[in-house]
Amino acid sequence: MTRRVVITGLAAISPLGTGVEKFWQGLLEGKSGIDLVTRFDVTEFPTKIAGEVKDFDPGLYMDKKEAKRMDRFTQFAVAGAKVALEDAKMDMEGLDKEKVGVILGSGIGGMETLEEQARILREKGPGRVSPFFVPMMIGNMAAGQVAIALGVTGPNITVVTACASATNAIGDAFKLIQRGGAEVVITGGTEASITPLAFAGFCSMKAMSTHNDEPQKASRPFDANRDGFVMGEGSGILILESFEHAQKRGARIYAEVLGYGTTADAHHITAPAPGGAGAAKAMAEAIRDAGLKPENIDYINAHGTSTDLNDKYETMAIKQVFGEHAYKLAISSTKSMTGHLLGAAGGIEMVATALAVYNDIVPPTINYETPDPECDLDYVPNQARKMTVDYALSNSLGFGGHNATVVIGKFKA
C-alpha cells in the first residue's frame, strides 16, 4: 500500500522578498521583482536586468562564520529549510532524524564562488585559493549543509536537471515518502547565478531579454512581444510528510501531493522538442500517477519562461494533453514576476501552486498585453483570480530535454 504525502511547510526567498508572505502578496498584487542588476557592473552586457533577492540577511538564519563558508545558493537553502520547518511547526527535538531526508534541486550550484576563486587563482596564484573553494562550489552542498544544520540523517540527494531540478527533487521526495523511505523530506530548489560568467553565457546564447529600459515589463510569458527570459535567484523550500506523520502531530496541511511525471526529449541541448512532446508526456504521466483525468485539473503553474519556443511548445503540449479542456484551464507563469530561478524555479513555483490550492486564488501572468495567435489559452492575464482550485499541476522544463510535472490537490481527510 502506497502512503499519502502532504505539504505541511513552505518557505520562499525570492525577488519579491524574503518570506512566504511577501512572495505570495507580491504575486497576488501582480508585482514585479525585476530591476537593474546591482550585484556586478553590467555596462558591457546586452542584458542589464535580473530578479535579485535584495532583502536577504544570512545572519538572521545562521552564524556569520558559517555563512562565510557557504556560497549564496547554499545560504538560501539553509535559511529556507529552517523557515519551512518553522512554518510546519515541526518539533525538531521530538523528530526521528533518521527518517528525515533532504532532496534539493540546483541547476548550477556555487557559481559565485567559482568565479571569485578563479579570479584569485589568476591574480594571486594557487596558494591563495580558499580551502573552502570546493565544498562551497559543488552543487550537492546545499542539501549537505541543510542536513548538517539540522542534524537530519535520512536520504540526502541533490538533483541536477537544469531548470527542471527542483520539480524533479519534489517528485523524488514524494516517491521516497510514498514508498516508506522517509517520513519527512525537506525539498525544493535553490539557485544564485546572477554572476558575470553566467550572465555572459546566457547573453551569448541570446536567451535573455534585453528589455532593459522597463525592467519590470521584461518578463512577459506567452505575450507576442516576449524576447527572452529574465534571470532570478532564491529558493523555494517545502516540507513533505507522510499523512500519518502529519496527522499524529496535528499539522496544518496546505495540499496533498498526488502525482509525478518526468521524461526526456532526447532532442537538443537547449531547444524543447517540437510540439512540446516531452512536456506533454510528463503532464500525462503525472495525471495518470495521481489517478486523475485531464479534465480534473483546474490550474497549471506553467514553466512559461518568456522565450519564443518554450511558451509556444508548452501551449501545444497543454492542448495535446487536455484537448478541449485546455481552454477551460487557468494557466499562469509566475516567472512574469520573479524571473526564472533556473534550478530553483520548480521550488518557488510549487510554493505558489500549493498556496493557490490552499487559498483558492490563482496568481496572474503579468505583462500580458499582446496576444500571440500560437499562445491562445487562458493565461490569467495581469490580475489574480479567485476560483476553486481542487487540482493543480506545476511544470518545469530544462536544458538537455528534461521535463518534470508534479500534480497536487486539496487535502481531503
What is the C-alpha to C-alpha distance for residues 347 and 63, in angstroms, rounded to an integer? Answer: 25
Whether the Cβ atoms of residue 316 and residue 347 lie closer than 8 Å to each other: no
User: Measuring CA to CA, which residue among 47, 215, 72 is closest to residue 136?
Assistant: 72
Instruction: Please give the single-letter amino acid code of residue 98.
Output: E
Residue type, 204: S
Helix (H) or strand (E) holding 197: helix 196-204
DSSP 3: P
Q: Residue by residue, what is the 3-state secondary structure of 152-170? A: CCCCEEEECECECHHHHHH
| Active-site pick, 163, 169, 207, 348 | 163
Cell of residue 94, nine digits: 521530538
Q: Which three cell numbers stand for residue 264?
A: 526526456
Coil, strand or helix at 27? helix
Cell numbers at 25, concatenated = 502578496
The grid coordinates listed for 280 are 506533454
| Inter-residue contact 174 to 257 (CB < 8 Å) | yes
In three-state secondary structure terms, 349 is helix
- Cα 177 to Cα 11, 241, 258: the distances in Å are 20, 7, 12
Q: Which H or E run includes 261? A: strand 255-264
Asked if 163 is an active-site residue, the reply is: yes
Cα atoms in the Cβ-side hemisphere of radius 13 Å centred on 27: 27
Catalytic positions are: 163
